[in-house]
Amino acid sequence: MKINLLTSALAAIVGLAFIGAPVTASAQTSTNATAPAAPSTAPKVKEKKKSDYTQIPKGAKISAIDATSVTLTTAKGDVKLALAADTGFEVNKKTATAADFAVGDVVTGSYKTAADGTNTAHNLRKKTEAAKK
């Protein structure tokens, strides 16, 4: 009885192996044409647009300033920025003017470089010692 059962089981396994073989062979001979991918249902992630402005490095100090330009001394060298009518100025997070800035002030902010290589200040910000405490 045991031999009969083992023989039947072995025959079933071998039979299944033979039945599955043609399916595998036919799958290997198929063409490489693929169906178009289904549209993704995942929400699209909005790519961040790279800013047109360059950040003023931390620790930049004003080495010269007048009504039309400001020169900053940074760890990488001096940067001269033109001041435009739309340049923003802030002192302690409050609107200010160019007159509120002086040589020696440590500033942050950003600027834009034009195609001709000139740099124009977008905004200049500083914190006074009283505001830092």
**Where are the chain's structural domains?**
54-132
What does the pLDDT read at residue 35? 60
List average pLDDT for each run of 10 residues in the chain, which is 133 residues long: 64 63 53 62 70 92 96 95 96 95 96 95 91 61
CA distance 91 to 121: 15
Architecture of 54-132 per CATH? Answer: Beta Barrel (2.40)
Q: How confident is the model at residue 130, as a pLDDT?
A: 73
| Alpha helix positions (H), the chain | 2-28, 129-132
Measure the CA–CA gap between 42 and 22, rounded to whole angstroms: 38
pLDDT of res. 44: 72
The burial of 81, by beta-carbon neighbours within 10 Å (0-12 exposed, 13-18 middle, 19 or more buried), is given as buried
* E strand residue ranges, the chain: 54-55, 60-65, 69-74, 77-82, 88-91, 94-95, 106-113, 119-126
Q: What is the model's pLDDT at position 7? A: 73
pTM over 0.75: no
DSSP 21: H
Assign 131 to helix, strand or coil.
helix
The pLDDT of residue 9 is 64
pLDDT at 43: 72
